[in-house]
A and B are shown apart, each in its own frame.
Chain A
Amino acid sequence: MAEQWANLVDYEQFCAGFSWSQARSELAGMGNGRLNIAYEALDRHMATAAAERTAIRFLARDSETPQDISYRALNERANRFANVLQDLGVQPGERVYGLSHRIPDLYAAVLGTLKHGCVFTPLFPAFGPEPIRQRVEIGEPAVLVTSKRLYQKKLADWLGEMPSVRHVLLIDELDEAPPGTLDAGALMAAASGDYVTRPMDPEAPALLHFTSGTTGKPKGAMHVHDAVVNHHMTGRYVLDMHPGDIYWCTADPGWVTGTSYGIIAPLTNGVTMIVDQAEFDAERWYRILQNQKVAVWYTAPTAIRMLIKLGPELPRAHDLSSLRFMASVGEPLNPEAVIWGQKVLGKPFHDNWWQSETGGIMISNYATLEVRPGSMGKPIPGVEAAVARKTGDGIELIEEADETGELVLKKGWPSMFRGYLNQDEKYRSCFVGDWYLTGDLARRDADGYFWFIGRNDDVIKSSGHLIGPFEVESVLLEHPAVAEVGVIGIPDEVAGEIVKAFVALKPGYPPDDNLRRELMGLARKRLGPAVAPRHIAFREELPRTRSGKIMRRLLRARELGLPEGDTSTLEGASE
């Protein structure tokens, strides 16, 4: 069925004629080959009718009376923030971290940071102090933008030990800024609303997104200003944004989705974005879709599955006829959920796939292509994807259909990460020749649709967020009773996976409920609920390799009753 309204009418034809330089020419640019993400998001609209359009429609938690902020007003607010950075002596290239609930000035801070040529890093407000501290230690920000509550709860105790952090800016409404912090609102009120956005080298760093791996600390994936070419293009041709659309990305701006598609792509495409301060609430969500007449909705499998659990009565009691395009990202969307969308909401969900490292959508279902429920879809124009198997000295692309291998992408798209901060070796190990190895296993069917199979490492994906088992294990190991820990993801019908820890205790500690609660409490306090284990089980001992590494794969196989696979490296296995 050809959807005549869609920006991308014929996928094959569009791909055949596509080039990144043509996609770049859809942006304004700043002359001499320079550009700035914030210029594309805000400044370039100032000379057009879009300046008076609503950029952010903010719905406060306790009220659903929208507060509208125009493109012009948001631009001015971002200018004020950029001036505050300048007045504080913050230099272009320095890093600014954001840790905040969804309030309009967070958006102004992100864009003001980019205008000033600084690098922005989003942090998830549900993180506990430990993941935040690790990310501050690795990325050494000069400035932290947060709220008074989050500062007092999660930062105040240790931030003074971080020599890089020169300023803490509080962006919520304050009666008084605690010692060591600054009232950003007051500084912004005193600053000028004019700022000349800095023209940046397209390869200048703009965003730093942290992601978790199997071992070691989180990795900071570095992205450059040129990434906006991807953000804009995928916003237009994949999410099918039209100027003036009401658009709602439910992802928190503390993650990469909430940055690329919750701030940048919608603004470069001139849509009105809904920013809802409240957390998931099914009835409220349907009300927002109806009352705000949302046309394009980008959400996540966990939320969709919660909506499905609540049944079809709620959506049927709402007028959802404004919805034109629905998409989902975070983890693979089960086929039933795609079909549920079609049956109950009148439109299918379009699943897509990408990672912090890719910076933007890479593989997707499209408005004008047949949706294959359960499939992540086809590569976006300009991106070549393949399935590969490792050989002794490299990789070999798998040409046959339906063979499982590692999903690989040919490098060269604008929003590809340019490195892991201070981890060159790790960055280089992600590439073989021209191919970026994603770490995800997939297959491609005979028609070119890709299907997600799983991770090829031990990283856990819970509610769409990557969790490194090592980060969780490290915190549990700090408890005096704990001898060893193995952390795995176990399937969960709503969250995709949830974190489960297997703990072996030191002699003399009884494996009882009190200790279990103590460990859960420790993990939640340090890691926050999004990362801490939801289950802890005690074991006499954990399976280890002969070299002493805990075999998470085997823990998982035993927990789920799967075949144990190759156990020849297991400690105690017969020679």
Chain B
Amino acid sequence: MNRDELRKAVLEELSGIAPDIDLASFDDNASLQDEYDLDSMDSLNLAEAVHKRLGVNIPDQDYARLRNIADLLDYLEGRL
């Protein structure tokens, strides 16, 4: 899976949790919390959805450090 495919998969999962996000103008470097209004329960759900879809388990202590989608993609790329 290349980075583009990975990004598509992650954004699909994100959109399942927060369908209010407009993916067409999505900024990978914007803060999920501030810019896209994800709260801690959304974040937990996203980690679970990514785990289910890609088989990568993100321990919560790592997850807290992933502030935007670019961080998350970097993290996942190294583990797929």
Contacts and interface: CB of A to CB of B under 8 A. Distances in A.
B55 interface: no
B64 A525 contact: no
B39 A282 contact: no
Given A521-B20, A524-B19, A282 B42 contact: no
Interface in A145-178: 149
B33 A517 contact: no
Contact of B18 (A283, A494, A522, A524): A524
A521 B39 contact: no
A281 interface: yes
A310 B60 CA distance: 7
B37 interface: yes
A529 interface: yes
A529 B15 contact: no
A310 B34 contact: no
A126 B34 CA distance: 9
B9 interface: no
Given A518-B19, A524-B18, A310 B61 contact: yes
B14 to A, nearest CB: 12
A309 B44 CA distance: 12
Contacts of B41: 463, 494-495, 498, 529, 534
A445 B40 CA distance: 36
Interface string B52-80: 00000000110010000000000000000
Nearest to A463: B41
A547 B33 CA distance: 43
Contact of B34 (A149, A314, A525): A149
B61 A525 contact: no
A528 interface: yes
Nearest to B40: A280
A146 to B, nearest CB: 14
B38 A529 contact: yes
A518 B20 CA distance: 8
Interface string B25-50: 00000000110011111101100000
Interface string A495-521: 100100000000000000000011011
Interface in A24-57: none
Contacts of A498: 41
A338 interface: no
Contacts of B19: 517-518, 520-521, 524
Interface residues of B, number: 18
A517 B15 contact: yes
B64 A529 contact: no
A223 B1 CA distance: 58
A28 to B, nearest CB: 39
A279 interface: yes
Contact of B64 (A128, A281, A494, A534): A281
A282 B37 contact: no
A287 B39 CA distance: 21
A495 B39 CA distance: 12
A167 B20 CA distance: 30
Contact of A284 (B34, B42, B64): B64
Contacts of B42: 529
B61 A282 contact: yes
Nearest to B64: A281
A429 to B, nearest CB: 33
B74 to A, nearest CB: 18
B16 A517 contact: yes
A144 interface: no
A283 B33 contact: no
Nearest to B33: A279
B44 to A, nearest CB: 8
Contacts of A271: none
Contacts of A437: none
Contacts of A528: 37
Interface string A473-497: 0000000000000000000001100
A495 B16 CA distance: 20
A530 interface: yes
- Name the residue among A149, A498, A525 with the largest chain B CB count within 10 angstroms: A525
A310 B58 CA distance: 12
Contacts of A529: 18, 37-39, 41-42
Given A463-B41, A529-B37, A282 B20 contact: no
Contact of B60 (A128, A282, A521): A282
A534 B18 CA distance: 9
Given A517-B19, A525-B20, A530 B39 contact: yes
Contacts of B64: 281-284
Contacts of A518: 19
Interface of B: 15-16, 18-20, 33-34, 37-42, 44-45, 60-61, 64
6 contacts: A279-B39, A282-B61, A310-B60, A494-B41, A495-B41, A498-B41
Given A282-B64, A521-B19, 18 more contacts: A126-B39, A128-B37, A279-B40, A282-B61, A306-B44, A310-B60, A463-B41, A494-B41, A495-B41, A498-B41, A517-B15, A517-B16, A520-B19, A521-B18, A524-B18, A524-B37, A528-B37, A534-B45
Interface pairs A-B: 5 shortest CB-CB: A521-B19, A281-B64, A517-B19, A524-B20, A521-B20
